[in-house]
């Protein structure tokens, strides 16, 4: 097991290097940040070249990449061209907001999906199942920005229960978390339901029932654990979707997260900030995936590493 | 799993005939209003894709600045008009082909890639699995939006690139879920038994592992299709959409959101189109899964 | 055993398997069908409920803006532009900076909301040219920075040495001020600007971001990096808190030399989504809303407690026409394109009337604008005649590239496409990412035949725009080259005689009208909105807000 973890970490480092190469290439081959920075004035080509020199962009690409990697391993992702502050600390400053939103969204989605999914499967074809399925289907049929705006119109403008957007206290977190979580609640409900149904059909469940175990015990002791595997997989995937998809929710709700930071950085051609955002987010996702994979061992003892 | 019912004749009381009749009864039992509704919606959608000119005849170019922002029910414009006078109903029908084809093409592509990679990595194990899973990690660790921005900026916009982006971001779902199913199924008794009997790898994949994975794939594919339609809307929201000359449903939704309080029909009707289509696809997916897998219909109240 | 919708079903051996099961249970069967339909109705009802909010008119919700839904000592602005990112005035060109920075800093020269220079409001009380290359400023006495330092000639010298030195060269503003060779202190309240060649735009430029006066002692003590997030200037408000992507908090500077501001606190909130920003205004959470979308105008106008403030901006939109690509390489074709476009209709129908006709790539506020020159006329018949005259071999096909994120211009582009197709062109409309569009495609000439271009000449002097767009080899001009134009433009920026410069620009206009390397479309009108509690608000044409007199009540 330890060997597995070590191997995974080594592989993860390779993954991160791979990502940084791709991002580096994509940025340097498509955008000229100097031109973007000077837009608004009357830049001559000479002015732009001069700025490129100051930013270190005139050196050959492999040299630039080497410098970037050498700095990055020491935690230095360079200075943001626009904020003129270290890119890494900018990202870390915004990370709590994104994590707050992601975790809250996941909590909302699981709080809805787990009970609904399990009950839906267990009480198959009842009212509850029907509502659960309609809810799940509706949840994945709405674009999240539309849902977000709808929620603002209803709960903030019409009912005045919460402020429309912003960051600071829990009243600002409710609508964005629900928006983020609602879509995933839909997906999760369906997956939990189908996974539980699969398990319910299994022989050992019939055996348990035949033995006379009450339904609740059947569910908790046998069904849930076995149904968990694809669900845990999906939770791991969800985190990635949440993290990336939060960009849109952040925009609708003026939420100062890394997604907004990164989006702005890509649009402006702020290379250090783009690289810092992508790599920080990637590291988090890799860690989550690693945890998900490790948790397989506890859920399904037949799986060995 | 064939529908033997067609072969059953009245009066034929053999075991196979009975089985066939039961299967047909099950099939008809499943034809509840939900599935019928879904079927109708999908047929309409299909018609819009195949023969849009039948549904909305006339000149496709309806820019008419004298008919801007008319509400639904206005003469000649059943669903209203947009800020340039285009008929909303016609826009929705014309956009169907683009929205649906993009979604389906992306799903097909990502399903193909993902299933193959998932099966191979789950079954083969070893360094093959490690490489594939690490590549999955690279992709999963890449926030989708940023990946889309980088790809669409590097290779330019356009329908093909949009499909590739959607496919690239979607295949990991299939791969991971398929792999996890394979990992569990690999250890199940009947598989171990088959291996003991000497069944070869391909046969193993095809006959034992693949079927247990099909229902998950179907669920994922139906989810994926509707999600792709929404992702396309999201990309349009962020300004990475495709050519504005042929609007997609997602594009209409995104462009129309600023009009939600004044000319709500511009965004709402495409939104309903997305919603009903997604609903129909998912109901169909459920139905397919239920009828294809006899194991599931035996599960009932606990 | 349970099947979908039917309970306790047994496949009866006696009955015909193809008919509905269990004929004896008619009642149950009926109930089952009934139950399914009931479910379907409920589902429809839920869907209808979900859509309900969209159906109610928004004006019914506007009444809440009558109350101030936040601390009444704070004035809150909702900005769409976002972060200033770096408060150091020498690093940026963004409008986001100008919105906030103009409240924190002052410059020697002040340009008011009427875009005219007002000597009573700048840090310099007067100036005169000693010779063509030496400009002497008399400075205002009794001004202090927000940290207590005095404003004087030394501060001015420090500011410009910094701007023109190694620190400034890493920033974006530097190249605008390159004509300044040195700044000399004559006495504590007199400075001389020495230029390397006569710069007729210098005085206007000294109202710009890069020329904002910064505190020498403060920067020497805290360093440049600290200054980017904790700025100090001579302005009306002082920054107390900056949360990127979220908000900037400012507090009034009571010793402000023009008088203490009326509001104690000022907050800018960054709200990128249009619908959300309007919601914030309607619920009274913000007092001033920047950037009202044209679609939202009816809501503002229909609300008794909201006010709309339209203001013409320096930004003009137009189309670049590439003189190197077929068929726009043909002069007659370019002229035909110009005649085919109905600019008035675009302004009226697409922009809702919020746009102004222009005849050259500048607004009426710009120096160099000739009010006697008419806008390009709309004449589709003439366009067709020109096309026929042009005898173009091959298809009349145009590739038109626009910025994909600009939803308003997308509509403008569609109308233009329709108008061009009416006179016989076929047009291929493509949208790209704005960064690629403005920084790669246009400078490299990879946009096809036509490209959207928006330009705000911030100096309000045609020199800035004309030189960049029409002089050979300039960054935004990959394809147009006319030696006569080049010499005119160079002459215009090297003389201080404003009368002469106007005459030169008239000649420039004539050449442009003949060569048509472009199709100028309209001047944008920016839309601001406030709640009715906001008083003394003047919408700034260049987004540089001045809020020391504005208050809420």
Is B224:B110 a contact under the CB 8 Å cutoff? Answer: yes
Q: What is the mean pLDDT of residues C391-420?
A: 90
- CA A39, A43, A45, A49 torsion-angle sign: negative
Picking from C40, C275, C404, the nearest residue to B241 by CB comes out as C404
- CA B266, B272, B278, B280 torsion-angle sign: negative
- Pick the more confident residue, C512 or B6: C512
Q: Which residue of B has its CA nearest to A212?
A: B302
Is B273:B112 a contact under the CB 8 Å cutoff? Answer: no
Question: What proportions of chain B, in percent to the nearest 5, are helix, strand and coil?
Answer: 75, 0, 25
Is C229:A85 a contact under the CB 8 Å cutoff? Answer: yes
Is B125:B182 a contact under the CB 8 Å cutoff? Answer: no
Give yes or no for A169 touching C (CB within 8 A): no
Beta carbons of B29 and C410 less than 8 Å apart: no
pLDDT score of A295: 78
- A220's tokens: 């908790």
For A216, residues 6+ apart whose C-beta sits below 8 A from its C-beta are none
pLDDT band, residue B283 (cuts 50/70/90)? confident
- B109's tokens: 């592509």
Picking from B84, B153, B301, the nearest residue to C436 by CB comes out as B153
pLDDT score of C51: 58
Residues of A in contact with C50 (CB under 8 A): 138, 150
Q: In angstroms, what separates the C-alpha of C336 from chain A's closest C-alpha?
A: 30
pLDDT band, residue C45 (cuts 50/70/90)? low
The answer, yes or no, to whether residue C315 has pLDDT greater than 60, is yes
Q: How many CB atoms neighbour CB A127 within 10 A?
A: 12
Alpha-carbon gap, residue C487 to C482, rounded angstroms: 9
Is C384:C401 a contact under the CB 8 Å cutoff? Answer: no
- CA C31, C36, C42, C48 torsion-angle sign: negative
Residues of B in contact with C432 (CB under 8 A): 156-157
Give yes or no for C2 touching B (CB within 8 A): yes
Angle between helices A87-122 and A127-139 in degrees, nearest 10: 150
User: Helical H runs in C16-152?
Assistant: 26-55, 95-104
Give yes or no for A45 touching C (CB within 8 A): yes
Beta carbons of B299 and A146 less than 8 Å apart: no
Work out the angle at residue C204's Cα, subtended by the Cα atoms of residues C135 and C258, and round it to the nearest 5 degrees.
90
pLDDT score of B159: 82
pLDDT band, residue B143 (cuts 50/70/90)? low
Question: What proportions of chain C, in percent to the nearest 5, are helix, strand and coil?
Answer: 35, 20, 40
Beta carbons of A84 and C86 less than 8 Å apart: yes
- C432's tokens: 């790209």
In chain A, what are the domains?
88-299 (1.10.3720.10)
Alpha-carbon gap, residue C161 to C182, rounded angstroms: 8
Name the DSSP class of C190.
E
pLDDT score of B7: 43
Q: In angstroms, what separates the C-alpha of B157 from chain C's closest C-alpha?
A: 7
Beta carbons of A194 and B257 less than 8 Å apart: no
The answer, yes or no, to whether residue B140 has pLDDT greater than 50, is yes
Beta carbons of A124 and B300 less than 8 Å apart: yes
**How many angstroms separate the Cα of C242 from the Cα of each of A97, B250, C106, C214?**
15, 36, 20, 19
For C30, residues 6+ apart whose C-beta sits below 8 A from its C-beta are none
For C136, residues 6+ apart whose C-beta sits below 8 A from its C-beta are C127, C128, C129, C130, C186, C190, C191, C192, C193
Burial profile C515-531: b = 16 or more Cβ within 10 angstroms, e = fewer: bbbbbbbbbbbbbbbbb
In this structure, of A174-178, A255-259, B92-96, B184-188, the range with the lowest mean pLDDT score is B184-188
Beta carbons of C475 and A45 less than 8 Å apart: yes
Q: How many CB atoms neighbour CB B155 within 10 A?
A: 14
Q: What is the mean pLDDT of residues B236-248?
A: 70
Sole residue written with tokens 């700095």: A71
- CA C220, C224, C225, C229 torsion-angle sign: positive
Q: Which of residues 277-316 of C touch B (CB under 8 A)?
A: 278, 293, 295-296, 298-299
Q: What is the mean pLDDT of residues B5-14?
A: 50
Beta carbons of B143 and A123 less than 8 Å apart: no
pLDDT score of A289: 77
Is A262:A278 a contact under the CB 8 Å cutoff? Answer: yes
How many Cα neighbours within 13 Å face the side chain of C536?
Answer: 12
Alpha-carbon gap, residue C376 to C360, rounded angstroms: 9
Helix, strand or coil for residue B208? helix
The answer, yes or no, to whether residue B11 has pLDDT greater than 70, is no
Closest CA to C312 of C364, C261, C352: C364
For the stretch B30-75, pLDDT in tens is 567 778 888 888 888 888 888 877 777 777 666 888 888 888 888 8
Strand runs labelled E in chain B: none
For B174, residues 6+ apart whose C-beta sits below 8 A from its C-beta are B110, B111, B113, B114, B115, B118, B217, B220
Give yes or no for A11 touching B (CB within 8 A): yes
Q: Which of residues 228-247 of A touch B (CB under 8 A)?
A: 229-230, 233-234, 236-237, 240-241, 243-245, 247
Paired sense of beta strands C518-531 and C288-289, if any: antiparallel
Closest CA to C404 of B262, A206, A62, B152: B152
For the stretch C81-131, pLDDT in tens is 988 999 999 998 889 999 999 999 999 999 887 878 888 899 999 999 999
The helix/strand count (H/E) of chain C reads as 17, 19
Q: In angstroms, what separates the C-alpha of B1 from chain C's closest C-alpha?
A: 19
pLDDT score of C292: 95
Closest CA to C97 of A87, A44, A82: A82
Chain C touching partners, 3 or more CB pairs below 8 A: A, B
Beta carbons of A289 and B137 less than 8 Å apart: yes
pLDDT score of C47: 61
Helix, strand or coil for residue C469? helix
Q: In angstroms, what separates the C-alpha of C4 from chain B's closest C-alpha?
A: 6
Residues of B in contact with C405 (CB under 8 A): 238-239
Q: Which of residues 155-194 of B touch C (CB under 8 A)?
A: 156-157
Alpha-carbon gap, residue C295 to C167, rounded angstroms: 44
User: Helical H runs in C283-329?
Assistant: 297-302
- Pick the more confident residue, C291 or A27: C291
Q: Which residue of B has its CA nearest to A243?
A: B143
pLDDT score of C26: 41
- A78's tokens: 């360079």
Give yes or no for A171 touching C (CB within 8 A): no
Residues of B in contact with A23 (CB under 8 A): 150
pLDDT score of C305: 92
Sole residue written with tokens 């809805």: A112
Is B54:B47 a contact under the CB 8 Å cutoff? Answer: yes
Is C425:C416 a contact under the CB 8 Å cutoff? Answer: no
Is A52:A269 a contact under the CB 8 Å cutoff? Answer: no
Closest CA to C410 of A136, B58, A83, B86: B86
Beta carbons of C438 and A36 less than 8 Å apart: yes
Residues of B in contact with C527 (CB under 8 A): none
Residues of C in contact with B68 (CB under 8 A): 349
- A175's tokens: 């609508």
pLDDT score of A294: 79
Give yes or no for A141 touching C (CB within 8 A): no
pLDDT score of C4: 31
Give yes or no for C55 touching B (CB within 8 A): yes
Helix, strand or coil for residue B31? coil
Strands across the sheet containing C190-195? C124-131, C134-139, C190-195, C180-187
Q: In angstroms, what separates the C-alpha of B107 from chain C's closest C-alpha?
A: 25
Q: Which residue of C has its CA nearest to A94?
A: C244
Closest CA to B217 of B155, B293, B271, B132: B293
For A289, residues 6+ apart whose C-beta sits below 8 A from its C-beta are A236, A240, B137, B140, B141
The answer, yes or no, to whether residue C20 has pLDDT greater than 50, is no
Beta carbons of C407 and B156 less than 8 Å apart: no
- A290's tokens: 């690693």
Closest CA to C40 of A69, A134, B159: A134
pLDDT score of B63: 80
- A178's tokens: 């629900």
pLDDT score of B6: 42
Task: Mutation target for C interface from B83, B85, B151, B153: give the one with most C CBs within 10 A.
Answer: B83
pLDDT score of C44: 63
DSSP string, C488-536: HHHHHTS---HHHHHHHHHHHHHHHHHH--EEEEEEEEEEEEEETTEES
**How many angstroms separate the Cα of B133 from the Cα of each of A280, B111, B253?**
20, 16, 36
Alpha-carbon gap, residue A5 to C181, rounded angstroms: 62
Beta carbons of C93 and A39 less than 8 Å apart: yes
pLDDT band, residue C380 (cuts 50/70/90)? very high
pLDDT score of B55: 77
Helix, strand or coil for residue C443? coil
Give chain A's residues under pLDDT 50: none
């Amino acid at each position: 097991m330890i060997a597995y973890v070590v191997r995974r970490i080594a592989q993860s480092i390779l993954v991160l290097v791979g990502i940084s190469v791709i991002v580096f290439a994509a940025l340097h081959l498509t955008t000229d940040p100097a031109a973007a920075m000077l837009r608004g004035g009357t830049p001559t080509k000479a002015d732009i070249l001069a700025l490129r020199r100051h930013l270190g962009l005139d050196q050959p690409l492999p040299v630039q990449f080497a410098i970037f990697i050498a700095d990055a391993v020491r935690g230095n992702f360079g200075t943001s061209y626009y904020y003129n502050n270290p890119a890494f600390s900018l990202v870390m400053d915004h990370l709590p907001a994104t994590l707050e939103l992601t975790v809250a969204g996941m909590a909302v989605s699981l709080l809805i999906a787990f009970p609904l999914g399990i009950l839906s499967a267990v009480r198959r074809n009842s009212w509850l199942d029907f509502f659960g399925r309609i809810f799940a289907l509706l949840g994945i049929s709405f674009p999240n920005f539309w849902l977000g705006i709808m929620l603002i119109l209803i709960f903030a403008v019409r009912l005045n229960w919460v402020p429309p957007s912003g960051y600071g206290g829990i009243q600002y977190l409710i609508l964005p978390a629900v928006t983020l979580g609602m879509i995933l609640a839909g997906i999760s409900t369906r997956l939990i339901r189908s996974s539980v149904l699969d398990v319910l059909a299994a022989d050992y469940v019939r055996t348990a029932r035949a033995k006379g175990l009450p339904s609740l015990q059947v569910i908790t002791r046998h069904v849930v654990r076995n149904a968990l595997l694809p669900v845990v997989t999906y939770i791991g995937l969800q985190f990635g979707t949440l993290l990336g998809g939060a960009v849109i929710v952040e925009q609708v709700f003026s939420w100062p997260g890394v997604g907004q930071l990164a989006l702005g950085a890509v649009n402006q051609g702020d290379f250090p900030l783009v690289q810092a955002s992508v790599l920080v987010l990637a590291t988090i996702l890799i860690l989550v995936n690693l945890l998900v994979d490790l948790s397989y061992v506890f859920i399904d003892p037949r799986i060995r590493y | 799993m064939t529908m033997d019912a067609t072969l059953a004749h009245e009066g034929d009381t053999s075991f196979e005939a009975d089985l066939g009749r039961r299967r047909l009864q099950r099939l008809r039992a499943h034809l509840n209003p939900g599935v019928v509704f879904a079927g109708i919606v999908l047929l309409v959608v299909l018609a819009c894709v195949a023969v849009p000119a039948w549904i909305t005849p006339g000149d496709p170019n309806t820019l008419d600045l004298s008919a801007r922002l008319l509400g639904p029910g206005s003469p000649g414009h059943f669903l209203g008009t947009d800020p340039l006078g285009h008929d909303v109903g016609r826009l929705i029908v014309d956009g169907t082909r683009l929205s649906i084809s993009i979604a389906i093409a992306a799903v097909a592509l990502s399903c193909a890639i993902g299933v193959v990679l998932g099966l191979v990595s789950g079954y083969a194990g070893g360094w093959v699995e490690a490489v594939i899973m690490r590549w999955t990690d690279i992709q999963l660790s890449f926030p989708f939006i940023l990946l889309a921005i980088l790809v669409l900026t590097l290779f330019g916009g356009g329908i093909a690139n949009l499909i590739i982006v959607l496919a690239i971001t979607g295949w990991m779902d299939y791969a991971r879920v398929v792999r996890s199913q394979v990992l569990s199924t690999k250890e199940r008794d009947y598989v171990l038994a088959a291996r003991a009997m000497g069944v070869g790898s391909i046969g193993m994949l095809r006959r034992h592992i693949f079927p247990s994975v099909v229902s998950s794939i179907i669920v994922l594919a139906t989810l994926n299709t509707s999600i792709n339609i929404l992702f396309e809307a999201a990309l349009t929201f962020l300004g990475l959409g495709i050519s504005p000359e042929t609007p997609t449903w997602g594009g209409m939704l995104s462009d129309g959101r600023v009009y939600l309080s004044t000319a709500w029909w511009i965004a709402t009707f495409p939104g309903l189109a997305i919603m009903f289509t997604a609903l129909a696809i998912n109901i169909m997916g459920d139905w397919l899964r239920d009828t294809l897998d006899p194991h599931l219909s035996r599960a009932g109240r606990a | 055993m349970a099947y979908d919708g039917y309970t306790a079903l047994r496949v009866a051996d006696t009955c015909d398997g193809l008919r509905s099961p269990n004929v004896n249970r008619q009642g149950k069967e009926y109930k089952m069908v009934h139950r399914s339909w009931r479910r379907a109705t409920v589902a429809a009802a839920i869907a209808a409920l979900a859509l309900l909010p969209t159906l109610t008119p928004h004006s019914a919700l506007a009444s809440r803006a009558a109350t101030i839904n936040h601390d009444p000592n704070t004035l809150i602005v909702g900005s769409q532009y976002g972060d200033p990112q770096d408060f150091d005035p020498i690093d940026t060109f963004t409008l986001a900076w100008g919105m906030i920075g103009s409240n924190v800093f002052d410059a020697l020269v002040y340009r008011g909301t009427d875009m005219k220079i007002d000597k009573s409001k700048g840090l310099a009380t007067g100036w005169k040219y000693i010779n063509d290359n030496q400009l002497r400023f008399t400075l205002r006495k009794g001004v202090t920075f927000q940290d207590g330092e005095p404003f004087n000639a030394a501060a001015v010298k420090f500011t410009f040495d910094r701007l023109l030195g190694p620190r400034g060269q890493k920033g974006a503003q530097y190249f605008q001020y390159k004509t300044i060779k040195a700044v000399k202190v004559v006495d504590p309240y007199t400075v001389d600007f020495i230029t390397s060649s006569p710069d007729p735009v210098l005085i206007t430029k000294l109202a710009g971001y890069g020329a904002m006066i910064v505190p020498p002692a403060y920067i020497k003590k805290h360093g440049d990096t600290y200054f980017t997030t904790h700025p100090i200037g001579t302005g009306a408000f002082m920054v107390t808190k900056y949360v990127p992507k979220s908000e900037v908090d400012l507090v009034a500077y009571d010793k402000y030399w023009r008088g203490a501001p009326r509001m104690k606190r000022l907050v800018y909130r960054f709200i990128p989504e249009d619908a959300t920003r309007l919601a914030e205004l309607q619920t009274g959470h913000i007092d001033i809303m920047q950037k009202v979308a044209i679609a939202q105008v009816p809501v503002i106008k229909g609300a008794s407690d909201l006010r709309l403030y339209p203001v013409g901006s320096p930004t003009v939109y137009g189309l670049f026409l590439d003189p190197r690509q077929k068929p726009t390489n043909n002069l007659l074709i370019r002229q035909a394109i110009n005649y085919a476009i109905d600019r008035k209709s675009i302004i009226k129908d697409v922009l809702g009337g919020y746009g102004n006709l222009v005849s050259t790539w500048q607004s009426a506020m710009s120096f160099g604008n000739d009010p006697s020159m008419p806008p390009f006329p709309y004449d589709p018949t003439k366009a067709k005649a020109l096309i026929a005259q042009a005898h173009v071999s091959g298809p009349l096909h145009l590739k038109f590239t626009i910025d994909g994120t600009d939803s308003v211009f997308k509509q403008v582009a569609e109308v233009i496409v329709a108008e061009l197709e009416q006179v016989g062109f076929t047009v291929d409309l493509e949208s790209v990412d704005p960064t690629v569009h403005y920084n790669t495609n246009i400078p490299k000439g990879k946009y096809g035949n036509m490209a959207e271009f928006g330009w705000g000449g911030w100096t309000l002097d045609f020199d800035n725009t004309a030189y960049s767009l029409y002089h050979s080899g300039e960054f935004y001009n990959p394809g147009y080259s006319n030696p006569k134009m080049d010499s005119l433009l160079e002459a215009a920026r090297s003389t201080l005689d404003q009368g002469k410069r106007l005459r030169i620009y008239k000649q420039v206009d004539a050449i442009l009208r003949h060569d048509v390397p472009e199709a100028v479309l309209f001047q944008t009108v920016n839309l601001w909105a406030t709640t009715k509690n906001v008083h003394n608000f003047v919408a700034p044409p260049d987004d540089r807000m001045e809020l020391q007199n504005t208050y809420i009540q």
